[in-house]
Amino acid sequence: DAGVIQSPRHEVTEMGQEVTLRCKPISGHNSLFWYRQTMMRGLELLIYFNNNVPIDDSGMPEDRFSAKMPNASFSTLKIQPSEPRDSAVYFCASSSVSSGNTIYFGEGSWLTVV
Amino acid sequence: AQSVSQHNHHVILSEAASLELGCNYSYGGTVNLFWYVQYPGQHLQLLLKYFSGDPLVKGIKGFEAEFIKSKFSFNLRKPSVQWSDTAEYFCAVNTLYNQGGKLIFGQGTELSVKP
């Protein structure tokens, strides 16, 4: 299995630009999670989907952040406009009942906003 | 609200020393418990998990953890650490089993092993 695939792996962008992070969950997994990791705040759950439907987006910091899951094999996390405080590692993860609800993480997208 | 607390922010050990990292959670219902490891510059990887049955769980790389329900604890142990165990360790709890398994993480414990 290819695991959770994220792109881009690294991105440096200027403040005010739009950033789109992409995720392909493990095939057959029906839950998808977006986490953000920073030194100051640790790991934060931003949003998660179950069967492509957003279940809990209470962790999304503000309206500049949005996430979509148009189908079972693809999700995006968008930041518009980006700000320096958005600099972090963004992890996508997926799970399913068949995996015992064990969550498997992608390798992360390292975002730097200058 | 559910929460996970890891007692130690940073632990420094010499090789061959024994390790115990504390984890406590606050939730009265059924839980699934996890320990993840994050090596420097890498993503989180599953170390071990507890769903039910024997409360002493063995994971990869010689790690084990014990679930003590009465103490709401799930401490991670390893009898003899190696330099390659240098990493950050996260305890996590899953309390929404039927809704796709939202994980709540502790703040992490950074382990530094001196050769």
DSSP structural state of residue A26: P
Residue A10 in this model has a pLDDT that exceeds 50: yes
Q: What is the pLDDT of residue A93?
A: 95
Among A45, A50, A108, beta carbon nearest to B43? A108
CA B21 to chain CA centroid, Å, is 7
List CB contacts (< 8 A) between B43 and chain A.
91, 105-108
Q: What is the pLDDT of residue A97?
A: 77
Q: 3-state class of B61 per DSSP?
A: helix
Instruction: Go through chain B and tell me how many residues it has.
Output: 115
Residue B97 in this model has a pLDDT that exceeds 60: no
Among B97, B103, B107, beta carbon nearest to A103? B103
Average pLDDT, integer, range B74-97:
91
Average pLDDT, integer, range A93-114:
89
Q: How far apart are CA B9 and CA A19, in angstroms?
A: 32
Residues ≥6 apart with Cβ < 8 Å to B10: B109, B110, B112
Among B106, B74, B21, B47, CA closest to A43: B106
CA A111 to chain CA centroid, Å, is 12
Residues ≥6 apart with Cβ < 8 Å to A69: A32, A49, A52, A53, A54, A75
